[in-house]
Amino acid sequence: MDQNHLCYHYTTGQWNGESNAAHRHLQENFAMEQPAQLKQLLNASASVLALAPMQDVTDLSFWRLMAKYDGPDIYFTEYFRVHPDSRLEKPILRSLTENPTNRPTIAQMIGNHIPSLVRTARELQQHPLAAIDLNLGCPAPVVYKKHAGGGLLREPRKIDTILGALREAIKIPFTVKTRVGFDDPKVFDELLPIFARHSLDLLTVHGRTVMEGYRSAVHYDLIQRATETVPCPVLANGNVYSAAKAESVLADTGASGLMIGRGAIRNPWIFRQIRQQQNAEVPFVPTGQDVLAYVHDLFETTRPPGLREKLQVQKIKKYMNYIGLGIEPSGDFLRRIRSAQTEHEFFTICEDHLQHNQPMPLEPMDLDLKPVDVLAGEHR
């Protein structure tokens, strides 16, 4: 049966006019397309660019927005929490079933209960996705104290067992996103042979320990060690904020590609700029007006239907923490933004700073930040 003659409805999961058996067969084939696309990308000579998973940020609407700006090659979901009573969280699942990016998507799981992880991996494979990822890096105390996410990096043997069980259960590509240790990167030497043993399809390394949070220097040398040790492709992650930085991180680590998080919130053109730089073209430089248009886009795209103005103004401030780092160095912009209450006030402040056609800086500025700034909340 030829899938091209049929119409697949993402929202209903139905193929027009087909019997259930044929529907299932086709759905399986459809789901197989993304793994093949991912493998092709990982085997290609060009560096792979991935959008990092970011809880409460990289949802369906944010993916849609990134795709509009010539976004990454691969998209990760926010993490699915996995425990004995967990069910696939519907809003995250929608990112997979309605995938607006036309690119391979990877579903991330976080948890440590092996039967639940295996069950969830099997359920996820019923949906269109390229791969399943295990989170070994989340530094939120509420997560690591339960021995999940980054907390598991204290227990290499448990990781070994989890990876063994998941590798057996996952018939599509299986990937891991890790930090370099819990409080000491020495454990990375113990972790690498474990990652190497389980036939992973991709390893992403955020080059910090759990205790180093998000603001320390990144151990690019350890990412390089990973690229030399594990047989699968490695994505380098941490502080890639510009095409110039992307080039130096790729050169320093020998990684097959990059995963970018906060840099993409601040600068949605970053993926395009990196590709341009790699093709020896001059990277696109946004003007103040371009950034202003992006903020308008972000405001509208991330606004859930019916959300009250005041709540959307509060919501947008989360993204502005990152965008503000590229706007002016004194911190005045961010201070004013944080006090805005209405859409009018919010955009008046944005216009004061961005209503111009001057080029914007490509690197973020060195603002004097408080520890809670930029990573307010759980991800401190």
Ligand X SMILES: Cc1cc2nc3c(=O)[nH]c(=O)nc-3n(C[C@H](O)[C@H](O)[C@H](O)COP(=O)(O)O)c2cc1C
Q: Which residues are catalytic?
A: 138
Task: By CB under 6 A, name the one of 111, 261, 288, 324 that touches ligand X.
Answer: 261
Residue list 65-124, contact with ligand X (CB under 6 A): 78-79, 108
Q: Which of 243/292 has CB closer to ligand X?
A: 243
Contacts of 352 by beta carbon, 8 Å cutoff, 6+ apart: none
DSSP string for 149-198: GGGGGG-HHHHHHHHHHHHHH--S-EEEEEES-SS-GGGHHHHHHHHHHT
Shortest CB 363 distance to ligand X, Å: 13
Binding segment for ligand X (CB under 6 A), chosen from 10-18, 31-39, 130-138, 304-312, is 130-138
Binding segment for ligand X (CB under 6 A), chosen from 4-12, 261-269, 295-303, 347-355, is 261-269
Shortest CB 84 distance to ligand X, Å: 21
Q: Which of 288/364 has CB closer to ligand X?
A: 364
Shortest CB 29 distance to ligand X, Å: 29
55 binds ligand X (CB under 6 A): yes
| Helix then strand then coil, % of the chain, to nearest 5 | 50, 15, 40
57 binds ligand X (CB under 6 A): yes
Q: Which of 172/246 has CB closer to ligand X?
A: 246
How far apart CA 151 and CA 140 sit, in angstroms, is 9
Shortest CB 3 distance to ligand X, Å: 32
DSSP letter for 4, please: G
Q: Is 287 helix (H, G, I), strand (E, B) or coil?
A: strand
Secondary structure of 209-276 as H, E, C letters: CCCCCCCCCCCHHHHHHHHHHCCCCEEEECCCCCHHHHHHHHHHHCCCEEEECHHHHHCCCHHHHHHH
135 binds ligand X (CB under 6 A): yes
How far apart CA 97 and CA 320 sit, in angstroms, is 29
Task: By CB under 6 A, name the one of 31, 38, 48, 52 that touches ligand X.
Answer: 52
237 binds ligand X (CB under 6 A): yes
Q: Helix 288-301 to helix 343-354 angle, to the nearest 10 degrees?
A: 160
197 binds ligand X (CB under 6 A): no
**Rg of the chain in Å (alpha carbons):** 21
Residue 239 falls in which region: left (phi positive, over 0), alpha (psi -120 to 50) or beta? left
Shortest CB 140 distance to ligand X, Å: 9
**Interface with ligand X: number of residues (CB under 6 A):** 24
CA angle 89, 65, 287 (to 5 degrees): 150
Shortest CB 159 distance to ligand X, Å: 15
Task: By CB under 6 A, name the one of 240, 250, 295, 362 that touches ligand X.
Answer: 240
Task: By CB under 6 A, name the one of 35, 53, 150, 233 that touches ligand X.
Answer: 53
Q: Which of 149/283 has CB closer to ligand X?
A: 149
How far apart CA 194 and CA 161 sit, in angstroms, is 10
Contact positions vs ligand X (CB under 6 A): 52-55, 57, 78-79, 108, 135, 137-138, 177, 206, 214, 237-240, 260-263, 375, 379
